[in-house]
Amino acid sequence: MKFRILTVDLVKDGSTIILRNAKIDMFKGSMRLAVDKWGRVEVTEPADFTVKEDNNLSLIEYELVNVVE
């Protein structure tokens, strides 16, 4: 299976990234962004919005809890 790694060098401050067929996977208690083999990553011109950085969910450690009813 081939993997392509998007290096941070491709993403410049202020650019916009469009992800197609992407999902968030849990890995060792943290979130990991994954783009499947049919997915696409596009780096485009800056969009006109501001990213909300005060609620960074990737800094939270999660664990699976089984609920018995």
Q: Using one digit for the tens of pLDDT, what is the confidence trace for 21-64?
A: 988 887 777 778 888 888 888 888 877 877 778 888 777 777 77
Is 39 inside any structural domain?
Answer: yes
Q: Is residue 43 part of a domain?
A: yes
Q: Domain containing 43 — which CATH number?
A: 2.40.50.140
pTM: 0.50
Q: Total domain count for the chain?
A: 1
With respect to residue 52, please indicate whether it lies within any of the assigned structural domains: yes
Q: What is the mean pLDDT of residues 9-16?
A: 74
Task: With respect to residue 46, please indicate whether it lies within any of the assigned structural domains.
Answer: yes
Structural domain for 51, as ranges: 8-59
Q: Kindly report the CA angle at 37 between 13 and 1, in degrees rounded to 5?
A: 115
Does 67 reside within a domain?
no
Among 7, 12, 37, 9, smallest CA distance to 22 is for 37
Task: Tell me, yes or no, whether 69 lies in a domain.
Answer: no
How much is the pLDDT for 4? 58
User: Which pLDDT score, from 0 to 100, does residue 6 have?
Assistant: 54
The answer on pLDDT for 1 being more than 70 is no
